[in-house]
Structure 1
Amino acid sequence: MAQKKTSSPSKSKPRPSSGKTEPVAPEATWTEVEQQVLAALGPEAVGQYPADLEPMSQVFEQVPDEAGLLPESYLRFVEALGYRWLNTGKKALAFLPPRWRASASQGMGEPSRQWTEVREEREAGRHVYRFVMFASADLNDVNGFAFGLSAKSGALAVFQVEDSLPLRELGTFETWLGKALEPLRKAVAKPAKQPELGDPLALRQESLGEAAAQARQAGAATLLGAFPRDTRAITLLHRKLGVVPDMVAEFTELKTLTLKGAGLKELPAVLGQLSKLVQLDGSWNTELATLPPELGRLQDLESLNLDHTAVSRLPEELGQLPRLRSLSLKSTRITALPAWLSGLATLEFLDLSQTDVPAGELEAFRQARPDCSLYPRP
């Protein structure tokens, strides 16, 4: 029995040291998961943003002062690995490079404060930032993760950002990263059959510089190239194309083209070559300000949707469209109706809701075209 008792302490020796195990560095945690994603899905599922990647525009001139808002563990992480991203097709996570970090932070509100008040401060250049957004899987509605001071400990902590507001405290950077990567581990174990991989935030499509422009062209061309050239409908909802490449003219049988929320600033003139196009939807491209006059060549076009764009005037050539039945300009910058608009004999629906077109002009159009449904209603 004595021998059995002497053997038991040797088995228990590791126990006292188990509580002193060195924590795993965030860099090691990320690298482990990245290797799993790479092995399962290939190189299109992992990547890195250049540190100098710059958005096409900033929300406000004042850049957030990040002093004291970026923890040392995070700084060591990006110094070692850069601004990495992972995308399994089901789950994604990306670290924002500095200028994008600033831009996303500008788009955030603050808890318990009216956005109008915060915006006024930022426009005046006197806002003191309390949060810095550093990672995301979806920037469309300003969702992601931000650093800020913990209400409990006063130390830097990670906050969940939902619809532009930092709402829930998630602990330290190290704690957060371990939990944030767990859904990606699970997604790798059960991958989607045809996952959409690549940059989950499409930052290059929204950035300045020649490399970014080339990436936009290449990405859009690759996406369009997947469609047969005789296809009749192409729908690209919120795909962040950034541009519509000239190769779109190759789709000679195209009847419906949906580019809603595609991050476009312009439409190419070659769209005028799509002689069979019936429906064109360019809505929710908030920086789309002008239209090419070549759209007036679309003799079969029946529906044109430009809702929630920055369009402020319509080219006169649109008055040459012989079959246009529906024109939607809701929440655009249109302030006056062109004279030719009431002369579009086929027009049956016109939406000018949430625009600054004077009430007198709207009433004059109603008088001239009582057969056309006009919004807003009187």
Structure 2
Amino acid sequence: MATKKTTSRTSPTKKPATPTPAELATQWRELEARLGEALGPRTSGQYPSELEPLAMTFEHAPDLGALLPDDYQRFVEELGYRWVNPGKKGLAFLPPRWRVQASQGMGEPGRPWTVVREEREAGRHDYRFVMFASEDLNDINGYCFGKSAQGDGLVVWSVEDSLPTLEQGTFTAWLAKKLGALGKQAATPRKVRDDALGDPLDLLLDSYGATATQAREERAAAVLAGHPRNTKHLFLHTATLRVLPDMVGEFTELESLSATGVRLVLLSSALGRLTKLKNLNLSNNPELTSLPAELARLQSLESLALDGTGVKDLPETLLQLPKLRYLNLKAAPLTSLPDWLGRMPALQTLVLRQTRLPAESIEALKQARPDLTIELST
């Protein structure tokens, strides 16, 4: 008698259900708790929703709400605009105005940036992507929302060097994957330098508001705090300061102060207390557009470097500096030279390379001060 064969049927493996925004919010909180236990409190934080950038890329700021999927909006309603930083590669959710600012700086695949920029400057650009999260805003890297190439649904795209590159799926699927990767970092024992932690984007340093102002002051003061108050030479080249804080006035023995390329936007009036200062170098701070009136108190100042700053108009307070002999204005956006410049008593060298000053303005200064060395572009 033939034996009847039986066949076993294997049930198809079910795909794991995609977490809901509420479940993802819970997982995010758990991640923050694990990171805090492993590396301390500077591994997570939250941006104020009203955080306003110091500058927008273009004047015309669009309403990008139509490009924000519902699951993302439910997630930020639950948690706010949080960030985590495990010391290697973090993730930060951009508050509304920063979403706009970052989106303005993005290009569009397949379109020349010159054309996109012209449209955005004119306020007639139809935005197709909105950047909502990042690990690095300096080079505009992170993640944006945009329509899928396979249909009209909104999906996450990775952004590299300001361009959307690859689709990453829905917001919930993308975030579940990111949480898994960040969780592995939290579970891996390692030593992390404390200065590698904190806000991964430094948004507060580039924002308006009382909270942002306090953060800039604290950051700059922390940089200065490690130096003896009787030091004579201070070089601040290794940190983003944004401001030269009131604490600088405590360094009354200073003879040289150099704060180049630290993204200054503001100088404290306390700078005027440095009456022994001979050399002040503020070069390569393009967002620094003005100088405090208290600069006139620097009666020992001999050299002032404003090259690469955003200073458009020289304050007449410079006329009150009896020993200033060297003034560097290379690549500053000056449109004219004040008449009083020729009356500065000690001025010997004036650097005007890479400026767009009218020839007649320079010629008038040469006539007024034939002894003055004026360095121009060749």
* Same structural fold, with TM-score higher than 0.5 when normalized by the shorter chain: yes
Secondary structure of 1:201's partner? coil
Instruction: Tell me the residue number matched to 1:268.
Output: 268
Instruction: Tell me the residue number matched to 1:221.
Output: 221
Secondary structure of 1:133's partner? strand
Instruction: Tell me the residue number matched to 2:70.
Output: 72
Post-superposition offset of 1:175: 4.7
Q: 1:34 to 1:307 in 2, by over 3 A?
A: farther
Instruction: Tell me the residue number matched to 1:109.
Output: 107
Instruction: Tell me the residue number matched to 1:4.
Output: none
What does 1:236-315 align with in structure 2 at a 5 Å threshold? 236-237=237-238, 239=240, 241-315=241-315
Post-superposition offset of 1:372: 3.3
Instruction: Tell me the residue number matched to 1:376.
Output: 377
Instruction: Tell me the residue number matched to 2:5.
Output: none
Instruction: Tell me the residue number matched to 1:20.
Output: 15
Instruction: Tell me the residue number matched to 1:186.
Output: 185
User: 1:5-59, CA deviations, whole angstroms, 9 ceiling, x for partnerless residues?
Assistant: xxxx9xxx9x847533324454344334322321122222210112222234434
Amino acid of the structure 1 residue aligned with 2:376: Y
Superposition TM-score, scaled by structure 1 size? 0.80
Amino acid of the structure 2 residue aligned with 1:118: V
Residue 165 of structure 1, aligned match among 163, 166, 169: 163
Answer whether contact 2:347 2:372 (CA < 8 A) is retained. Answer: no
CA root-mean-square deviation: 3.3
**5+ unaligned residues in a row in structure 1: which ranges?**
1-8
Answer whether contact 2:235 2:257 (CA < 8 A) is retained. Answer: yes
Answer whether contact 2:236 2:262 (CA < 8 A) is retained. Answer: no
Answer whether contact 1:237 1:258 (CA < 8 A) is retained. Answer: no
Q: 1:349 to 1:183 in 2, by over 3 A?
A: farther
What does 1:33-182 align with in structure 2 at a 5 Å threshold? 33-177=31-175, 180=178, 182=181
Answer whether contact 2:329 2:350 (CA < 8 A) is retained. Answer: no
Identity over aligned residues, as a percent? 50
In 2: Cα distance, 1:302 partner to 1:167 partner: 52
In 1: Cα distance, 2:261 partner to 2:35 partner: 29
In 2: Cα distance, 1:169 partner to 1:347 partner: 60
Instruction: Tell me the residue number matched to 2:4.
Output: none
Secondary structure of 1:189's partner? coil
Post-superposition offset of 1:306: 2.7
Amino acid of the structure 2 residue aligned with 1:69: L
Does 73-82 or 112-121 show the bigger shift?
A: 112-121
**5+ unaligned residues in a row in structure 2: which ranges?**
1-7
Does 40-49 or 255-264 show the bigger shift?
A: 255-264
In 2: Cα distance, 1:17 partner to 1:278 partner: 79
Secondary structure of 2:62's partner? coil
- 1:233 and 2:234 are equivalent in the alignment: yes
In 2: Cα distance, 1:135 partner to 1:45 partner: 17
Does 202-211 or 247-256 show the bigger shift?
A: 202-211
In 1: Cα distance, 2:147 partner to 2:70 partner: 14
In 1: Cα distance, 2:36 partner to 2:92 partner: 15
Instruction: Tell me the residue number matched to 1:350.
Output: 351
Q: 1:123 to 1:48 in 2, by over 3 A?
A: same
Post-superposition offset of 1:373: 6.0
Amino acid of the structure 2 residue aligned with 1:282: L
Post-superposition offset of 1:236: 4.8
In 2: Cα distance, 1:165 partner to 1:113 partner: 10
Q: 1:330 to 1:91 in 2, by over 3 A?
A: farther
Q: 1:257 to 1:160 in 2, by over 3 A?
A: farther
Q: 1:321 to 1:161 in 2, by over 3 A?
A: farther
In 1: Cα distance, 2:170 partner to 2:280 partner: 48
Post-superposition offset of 1:290: 1.5
Post-superposition offset of 1:129: 0.7
In 2: Cα distance, 1:325 partner to 1:152 partner: 66
In 2: Cα distance, 1:331 partner to 1:185 partner: 48
Secondary structure of 2:243's partner? coil
Q: Give the 4+ runs in structure 1 shifted more than 6 A.
A: none
Post-superposition offset of 1:247: 1.8
